[in-house]
Amino acid sequence: MTEELDILTPKAKFNFSLSLLNRLNELLKDCNDLSREKDLPSWRDTLKCLYRELSPLIDKKKISNYDKMMKEIFNIDIFKNPNIKFNGIGINKEEYNKLGAKLHDWEIELRKIINDNDMYMAKKDQIEHAIGDMED
């Protein structure tokens, strides 16, 4: 019991939880904006940043699968071709749409990590902590 309480006791008086939430919020907003704009290279780069922020939260048993998924996305040849401008020049629509779908799927996986860590919405018994203390 003492060991369990010791694990839950913060080791520092300061932590980055609010900063992390702000960064995640900004990255998720950027992902939404970039996906709507169909700016695939910037969306991909933003997803990489999001993955980096979420990596400490990923279950150690699953991290190698996530690393593999990310490497697959970053090793897509089309991103390495300097002649492709991602504005319709040098890429056919079907290939472009498939690439967008892969980024979409990767973003969904990253959002699941956020959800699995109860960072999207507070649970029913945590609502008062999500919006602050409502008592005077």
Given a cut of 70, the residues of the chain with pLDDT beneath it are: 1-10, 12, 82-90, 122-136
Tell me which long-range contacts 129-134 makes (C-beta under 8 A, separation of at least 24).
none
pLDDT at position 29: 98
pTM to 2 decimals? 0.75
What lies within 8 Å, CB to CB, of 51 at 6+ separation is: 66, 70, 110
Please state the separation of Cα 74 from the chain's center in Å: 15
Contact 136, 46 (CB under 8 A): no
Pairwise CA distance, residues 130 & 124, whole Å: 10
For position 43, what pLDDT does the model report? 92
